[in-house]
Each structure stands twice: as structure tokens, then as C-alpha cells.
Structure 1
Amino acid sequence: MSIVKVKDKTFRTFIPEAEIQQRVKAVADKLNEDLKDKNPLFLAVLNGSFVFAADLMRMITIPCEISFVKLASYQGTVSSGKIKEVIGINEDLKGRTVVIVEDIIDTGFTMKRMLEQLGTRDPESLHICTLLVKPGKLQVPLNIEYAAMEIPNDFIVGYGLDYDQQGRNLRDIYTIVE
């Protein structure tokens, strides 16, 4: 187990890179099977999901497309509670199978808002794919079909997830040391 310092906080290894890759592969395998006849549009939520989305896409073997949307709801180590869309979606979603690719779902409010916004664009179906979910923090009901891992309510960093924009480049996922 290693210890890293990101800005003013100390973190310890929580999920090593090898385990992350195994879990991403399992999610990709399920997506490949479930959506084999669909040509899905993967919609990755920036900034946090970019590493997960890249690894996931390299394991997807079915015809598909990818695009990106940027939402902001975090400031520091806590959710601001306010969600603002920064970069919108330009693709026509009418009749499409859309898979939202997220790094982490905790309260679920960001995902609920995304589902509502995307639903107005008449997709055939909407699916949630997330690297991490915090079931103990979830405050809205969501059908999370593709989750690589469930984790406790700890604050984490690495593999695309940040602390004040730092630490995204760490290969493992780290949890905060109080």
C-alpha cells in the first residue's frame, strides 16, 4: 500500500490499477453482450470519466460511438449541490441507444438531471455505466445497470478522479487518510 499527498491531503491506496482494469473489463464484456446489435453512443461525463471512458472504449468490441459532456457539481472534497452544464451535447439522440459513462455516482442528483435532459431528446434507451457508485450516499432512485465497483462514502482520488483538479493522473484509486 502506498501513501500519496495531493495538495494538503494524504491518501492511501484503496483500489490498485490491476483490480480496476479487471472490473472495467467485466463491465465492457457485459456491455458488449447486452448492446451487441445497438451501435450505442457512449456519452462520457468530463472531466472525471476520461480515464475510465478511454479504458472502457478500448475493451468495447461492438460498433459504437463516443462523445463527451461536461458537468460541474464538485468543489474540493464535497458536492456543491449545484449542477451546471458547461459543454452540451451536439449529437442527435433520437432513436439512439445512449450509455452515460460516469466516473462516480454518489448522491445521484447529477445523473438524475442528465437523464432528464437526455430524455427530452427522444433516445431509444438510456443506460448508466459508472466506474464507482456509493450506495450509502445515493439519494435518488437510479437504474445503474453497469457499475464496476461499489465503494463506501470515503473521498477518493486517482484514475481520473480529482481533489481540486489534482491527482487525476494517479494509476490507482486512493482514499483519504483522516
Structure 2
Amino acid sequence: MPDSLKILFTHADIEQVIQRLARSIRQDFGQEEIVFVCVLKGSFIFTADLVRAVANPSVVDFIRISSYRNGMTHGNVAITKDLETDIQGKNVVIVEDIIDSGITLTSLRNMLLTRKPKALKICALIDKRARREVQIEGDYVGFSIDKGFVVGYGIDYAEKYRNLRDIFVVEEGE
């Protein structure tokens, strides 16, 4: 259980970042339709706000993936809830809450590329480059942070704190 939460990004900060990301996405895709792939559960609030800000014709679909490690493998990724939308020949934007190690997101990107989208981009609310274990970059990134465990705005700690409007860093007690 977190000892305390310290505000990292206010809701106003988040709204400004979403407008910037939406402008970049519109610039890249014009008025073309976009399939937004919301990576559950952490990015559901971010996805809803982003899709409204982009305002292109769009389809929103959801995917849930789990990753786990065992003694001999670096990381295994499994889809636990797949897309219902056929993305072949379509513009696709993966919407992720945090790019952390990059292992899960790299696997997801590679899985989706096999479905032959017209374009595949990654939009992340937060990028934690210091924790990267594989080389992957977001095409659209909201905030960059070095370290810290964050909650709020859809991001959880043990399924709690998703409902907070701001993003907080968890501070552990001395």
C-alpha cells in the first residue's frame, strides 16, 4: 500500500498534452479514419480523451495483454482479450499508458504488424526511458519521466487509484 501520493502532473497538464498529441496525430493522418487500440486496463481514460481530441473518423477497440517471466525466459506475452476489429489495411494507433521496459509493447507491436495495417503508430501518455530493456520508441509521447511508480488517470496500484484526475507518484515512507 502506498505511503503517500505526490502530484506529478495535474489534470490541466494532462489536457494540454492530449491536445498536443492530438495535433500530431491529425497532422500525420489528415482526416483519414484511425483505429485506436486501447491497451487495457491502464489506458482506457487516456484513450477516451485522446479520441475525442483527435476528432477524426475513428474506431476504438480494446486489447488486454499479460506478460510474465519465468526462470529461463526474459518475458512471455499473451493476449488475454483480442481485438474485434480487422486492422488489415487500416491506420492504427496503439494507445498505451506507460512505456516501461518495452518488452510487452514490442511484442504487441510485432503481433499487430502481422495483421498488415496500413500504418501502425504508438501513442503513450508516459515514457520511462530509464527502465527500457528493449529498443522501442513512442511515435507520440505525452510525458517523459526517469523513475517512480505512478498512479491516477487510469493507472492503478493494485487496481486502486485509476479514478484520480491527476497523475501522482507513489512516495514510500522513510
Q: How does the TM-score come out when normalised to structure 1?
A: 0.88
Give secondary structure in 2 for the equivalent of 1:72. Answer: strand
What are the ranges of 5 or more consecutive residues in structure 1 without an aligned counterpart?
1-6, 75-79
SS, match of residue 43 in structure 1: strand
Sequence identity percentage: 36
Q: CA offsets, 1:112-162, max 9 Å, x none?
A: 010111111111121000100101111212231100110121001000000
How many residues end up aligned between the 2 structures? 167
Q: CA RMSD in A?
A: 1.7
Q: Is the 2:26–2:54 Cα contact (8 Å) retained in structure 1?
A: yes
Aligned pairs for 1:90-169 (under 5 A) are 90-169=84-163
Letter in 2 for 1:22: Q
Equivalent of residue 63 in structure 2, options 66, 69, 94: 69
Give 1:37 deviation, angstroms: 4.2
* Residue among 64, 85, 89 paired with 2:83: 89
Q: Which residue of 2 aligns with 1:77?
A: none
Provide the C-alpha distance between the structure 2 equivalents of 1:73 and 1:48, rounded to a whole number of angstroms: 15
Q: Distance in 2 between matches of 1:10 and 1:21?
A: 24
For 1:62 and 1:95, how far apart are their aligned partners in 2?
17
For residue 104 of structure 2, give the secondary structure of its aligned residue in structure 1.
Answer: helix
1:40 pairs, out of 21, 34, 50, with 34
| Structure 1 counterpart SS, 2:94 | strand
Partner residue in 2 for 1:26: 20
Moved over 2 A (4+): 80-84
Cα deviations across residues 53-108 of structure 1 (Å, max 9, x unaligned)?
0110110122221111112348xxxxx95533210112111111110000001100
Gaps of 5+ in 2: 69-73
1:170 corresponds, among 137, 142, 164, to 164
Deviation (angstroms), 1:10: 1.8
Identify the residue that residue 4 of structure 1 maps to in structure 2: none
